[in-house]
């Protein structure tokens, strides 16, 4: 299986294990003249609120040559998708899924922490081999 | 000459024609554990203020397969460089240089206009063949 699909499936299965129903793979959003595609859309019942929680998840593997180049692409995608979701589907929360090793190294740098804070990125940290969601970071 | 260099030189020469002195090609910024490289750094004397104006310019050709993929990368770079400049060189203004045909089409879409406004992108619009800066957009 190509590495990209391996990471994609890890997050998909990790979400399913936590009770999420995958509704879109990918989730398309048409807005303001462009068609955007976020990797996954998912929903989960919140019994206490008698409602449904909806999320969109962009999955990054950080397997490429340069972690900073991949981070730039991820940051641009996240902020672009958030603009479109705010207009088209404001109840849906957007997350960036990152592998645990990348989170434990690159995402602990002062630069990355400031970027995550300033641009209010929400993160899902996942473990690719075990297909488990390790952490949700709002 | 590779197309990328052609666009790079067009912006460089366009700035020089407007009295800018290119001081860095590329401009490096070390901040918070990462090394970032913006395509150009330039300075110009402002006689009236007896001071110097400083800019950093990231040059995009938008020659790739997908304009939206290039835009995501550009947006991520711009916002990442702006974070680093705010910390390390706050007087320097950051611009994204885009070719006039891309500006006249993709940048007129509702999506792109909203992204430029919301994320406060500053743009330099250039004409690659004549090596002229057509417009500065704050």
Confidence of residue B64 (pLDDT cuts 50, 70, 90): confident
Q: What are phi and psi of A54, to 5 degrees?
A: -125, 135
Q: What is the 3-state secondary structure (H, E, C) of chain B?
A: CCHHHHHHHHHHHHHHHCCCEEEECCEEEEECCEEEEECEEEEEEEHHHCEEEEEEEEECCCCCCCHHHHHHHHHHHHHHHHHHHHHHCCCCEEEEEEEHHHHHCHHHCHHHHHHHHHCCCCEEEEECCCCEEEEEEC
Task: Give me the residue label for tokens 């499936």.
Answer: A9
Please give the pLDDT value at position A48: 67
Residue A87 C-alpha, separation from nearest chain B C-alpha, in angstroms: 10
Whether the predicted pLDDT of B35 surpasses 90: yes
- The strand pair at A132-137 and A21-24 is best described as unpaired
Are the C-beta atoms of residues B58 and B94 closer than 8 Å to each other?
yes
Q: What is the ipTM of this complex?
A: 0.93
Task: Give me the residue label for tokens 């019994």.
Answer: A47
Residue B21 C-alpha, separation from nearest chain A C-alpha, in angstroms: 28
Q: Tell me the mean pLDDT in the region B16-41.
A: 97
Q: Which residue of B has its CA nearest to A77?
A: B72
Q: Which of A34, A36, A67, A82 to mutate to test the interface with B (most CBs of B within 10 A)?
A: A34
Locate all alpha helices (DSSP H) within A1-138, ordered by sequence.
3-17, 67-88, 100-104, 110-118
Cβ neighbours of B77 in A, within 8 Å: 72, 76
Domain encompassing residue A100: 3-137
Residue B3 C-alpha, separation from nearest chain A C-alpha, in angstroms: 20
Q: Tell me the mean pLDDT in the region B90-97.
A: 97
Q: Which residue of B has its CA nearest to A82?
A: B115
State yes or no: cis peptide before A17, omega within 30 of 0. Answer: no
Q: CB–CB of B118 and A36 under 8 A?
A: no
Q: How many structural domains are present in chain B?
A: 1
| Token pair of A19 as six digits | 């009770």
Q: Which residue of A has its CA nearest to B35?
A: A68
User: With a threshold of 0.90, does the pTM exceed it?
Assistant: yes
Q: CB–CB of B115 and A80 under 8 A?
A: yes
Share of chain B above pLDDT 90, in %: 87
Q: Tell me the mean pLDDT in the region B36-52.
A: 87
Please give the pLDDT value at position A49: 65
Q: Burial-class residue B138 by CB neighbours within 10 Å (0-12, 13-18, 19+).
A: exposed
Confidence of residue B60 (pLDDT cuts 50, 70, 90): very high
Confidence of residue B3 (pLDDT cuts 50, 70, 90): confident
User: What is the pLDDT tens value at each position of chain A, 138 positions in all?
Assistant: 677 788 999 999 999 999 999 999 999 999 999 999 999 999 998 776 667 899 999 999 998 879 999 999 999 999 999 999 999 999 999 999 999 999 999 999 999 999 999 999 999 999 999 999 999 999
Residue A75, domain CATH? 3.40.1350.10
Please give the pLDDT value at position B1: 66
B66-86 pLDDT per residue, tens: 999 999 999 999 999 999 999
**Residue in B124, B123, B125, B126 with CA at minimum distance from that of residue B115:** B123
- The strand pair at B123-127 and B93-99 is best described as parallel
What are the distances in angstroms from CA A102 to CA A92, B31, B116? 25, 19, 29
Give the helix/strand (H/E) hosting A94: strand A93-99
Cβ neighbours of A113 in B, within 8 Å: 32
């Amino acid at each position: 299986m190509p590495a990209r699909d391996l990471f994609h499936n890890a997050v998909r299965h990790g979400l399913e294990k936590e009770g999420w129903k995958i509704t879109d793979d990918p989730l398309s959003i048409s807005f303001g003249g462009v068609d955007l595609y976020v990797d996954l859309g998912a929903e989960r019942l919140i019994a206490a609120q008698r409602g449904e929680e909806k999320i969109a998840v962009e999955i990054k593997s950080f397997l490429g040559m340069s972690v900073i180049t991949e981070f730039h692409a991820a940051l641009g995608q996240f902020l672009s998708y958030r603009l479109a979701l705010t207009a088209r589907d404001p109840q849906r929360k957007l997350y960036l899924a990152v592998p645990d090793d990348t989170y434990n190294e690159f995402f602990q740098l002062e630069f990355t922490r400031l970027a995550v804070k300033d641009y209010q990125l929400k993160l899902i940290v996942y473990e690719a081999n075990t297909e488990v969601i390790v952490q949700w970071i709002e």
